[in-house]
Amino acid sequence: MPKAAAIDRKLPSPFRTKAERAQDRADKWEAVLLAAVRMFNARGYHAASLDDVAASLGISKPTIYHYLGNKEQVLIECVNRGLSLLQEAADRAEGLPGNGLDRLRAFLCLYAQINMDDFGRCVIRTSDEILSMDSATQFRARKRDIDNVVRRMIEQGIADGSMAPVDPRFASFVLAGALNWPARWHDPDGPMTPEQIAGQLVDILLSGLAPRS
């Protein structure tokens, strides 16, 4: 074989590419975040410790600091993930065809299902009193944005006749209060799926918003 051909021939590299390293870091970040949110949900923020999270993954506590920061920063990452899921669901529902009641029903079903999953459950179980002032302000603002979407859908439903005249603010609080509770009592191993639970809850709640003859 000519020397030039031997030199040009590429050997398999034992070193990972930049993309592979980035993916590896993203996978580890995701694993740490998921372990943390499940620990917070199971034990509560104050009782859970990053030592426990690290032990569940077989890593050291400094590794968590490396990927996510201190305990409050880890919690904020968890609730922000849940809030982003809720906001995406709200944006999707607002863009659906149909009347106000149709869009509200679609969003509330998604809302309830998200609240029965790991990150949505963390949003419901987290009280802003345990957060620093800046984090609590941001937390309340993001929740308020989602509440405003619900109020807009209710207002649209009243305007188009698909809902009875109600106080949108009060109705939004009632709906959120009812649909937040599954985050506390839902059993993932129970006989009903989150989708089935969400559908029944929303049916019961919205029957009270249907227009009366």
Cα–Cα distance for residue pair 166/168, rounded to 1 Å: 6
pLDDT at 103: 96
For residues 202, 205, 209, 213, the Cα torsion angle rounded to the nearest 10 degrees is: 100
Residues 77-213, CATH architecture: Orthogonal Bundle (1.10)
pLDDT at 11: 67
> Which is the CATH superfamily of the domain at 17-69?
Homeodomain-like (1.10.10.60)
For residues 136, 137, 138, 141, the Cα torsion angle rounded to the nearest 10 degrees is: 120
pLDDT for 64-111, tens place per residue? Answer: 888 888 899 999 999 999 999 999 999 999 999 999 999 999 999 999
With beta carbons less than 8 A apart as the criterion, state whether 100 and 154 touch. Answer: yes
pLDDT at 2: 57
Owner of token pair 């995406």: 88
**Is 0.75 topped by the overall pTM?**
yes
For residue 81, count other CB atoms closer than 10 A to its CB: 18
Domain extents for the chain? 17-69, 77-213
Task: For the chain, list residues with pLDDT below 70.
Answer: 1-11, 13, 208-213
pLDDT at 169: 95
Cα–Cα distance for residue pair 42/29, rounded to 1 Å: 20
